[in-house]
Amino acid sequence: MRTILVIFILWAWGVQGVCQNTIGIPDIVNYPKGVYGAGTQNRGIVQDKNGVLYFANYEGLLSFDGTYWMCYPLPNKSVVRTIAIGADNKIYAGGQDDFGYFSPDPNGKLVYTSLKSLLSEKNFSFTDIWNVVAYGNDVFFRCREKIFQLNNQSITVYPAASEWLFLGLSNHRLIAQDGRNGLLEFGGGLWKPLAGQGGPGDAGTGTGAKGRGQEGLPVMSMGSPGRAQRQAGIEALDRTKGRRWMALVMKRCCHPGSW
């Protein structure tokens, strides 16, 4: 009798697991490369006011309107590493040694316009653009050597003290990470040390995250800007107290064998 009871309980448990209520749970649809017809990797995603999705793809700007996929390559056929939609609804993109925007022509087809023509000869050559950020009416583009600020068809260039490792928004503030000076906040046309951050050798002055080989990454923790470092782990900054929380998560993720 006890054996029959155990078998019944196990059967009922299995039936309950199979018959779980899926109402309200959205379907997950996977689109393989053969369906969307572009590169294997997608590095960024944005959505416009019409609901169209755009992806930073290894073969260009990839779009999906819910039915059709389209890929728009850059003129130099390079990787599109990052995208953002500006206040003017243009789709700004960064690639290898180029950045610009996509906008529709009279027939509705997206056409790419490079912004390199706005650069001086001194700043004309650069490496990959890793971050594009729309900030107010301006658009910022980051490569390792420079940050470019687009404003009214004019570009201002901010060279890195060491190298620019990250650029992004946190609580409507534009934050960048420099390999020598740590986290910086943009304001009034200047990059200033982010209040409350500390660092090795100079607590509270924004001199942390020194040296090459540390990838800056956005970390959202309690509404505070933060960064992640390969060697040091994840660091979150409390705006009010300037505290630091350190973890070895990034080290473990980058080096699984160290667990």
Closest of 140, 141, 145 to residue 164, by C-alpha: 145
User: Residue 248 phi/psi, 5° resolution?
Assistant: -100, 20
Closest of 182, 115, 193, 184 to residue 150, by C-alpha: 115
Q: 57-61, 144-148, 159-163, 220-224 — which is least confidently predicted?
A: 220-224
Helix (H) or strand (E) holding 25: none
Nearest-10 Cα torsion for 87, 89, 91, 94: -10
pLDDT in tens, 212-246: 333 444 433 334 444 444 434 444 555 444 444 33
> Would you kindly state where each structural domain of the chain is located, as residue ranges?
34-159
Q: Summarize the confidence of residues 151-180 as an average pLDDT.
A: 95
Tell me, what DSSP letter sits at residue 128? Answer: B
Residues 15, 16, 22: CA angle, nearest 5 degrees: 115
The rounded distance, in Å, linking the Cα atoms of 20 and 40 is: 34
Quick check: 46 pLDDT over 50?
Answer: yes
Confidence of residue 207 (pLDDT cuts 50, 70, 90): very low
Q: Are 71 and 59 in contact (CB under 8 A)?
A: yes
Beta strands in 50-137 (DSSP E): 53-57, 60-64, 69-72, 82-85, 91-94, 99-104, 110-114, 131-135
The rounded distance, in Å, linking the Cα atoms of 84 and 134 is: 6
Confidence of residue 27 (pLDDT cuts 50, 70, 90): confident
pLDDT in tens, 110-153: 999 999 999 999 999 999 999 999 999 999 999 999 999 999 99
Q: Which residue(s) pair with 96 in the sheet?
A: 128
Read off the tokens for 156.
């201002």
Quick check: 169 pLDDT over 80?
Answer: yes
Confidence of residue 163 (pLDDT cuts 50, 70, 90): very high
More confident residue, 147 or 258: 147
Supply the pLDDT for residue 222. 34
Instruction: Give me the chain's average pLDDT, please.
Output: 78
Share above pLDDT 70 across residues of the chain, in percent, rounded to a whole number: 67
- CATH number, span 34-159: 2.130.10.10
Quick check: 205 pLDDT over 90?
Answer: no
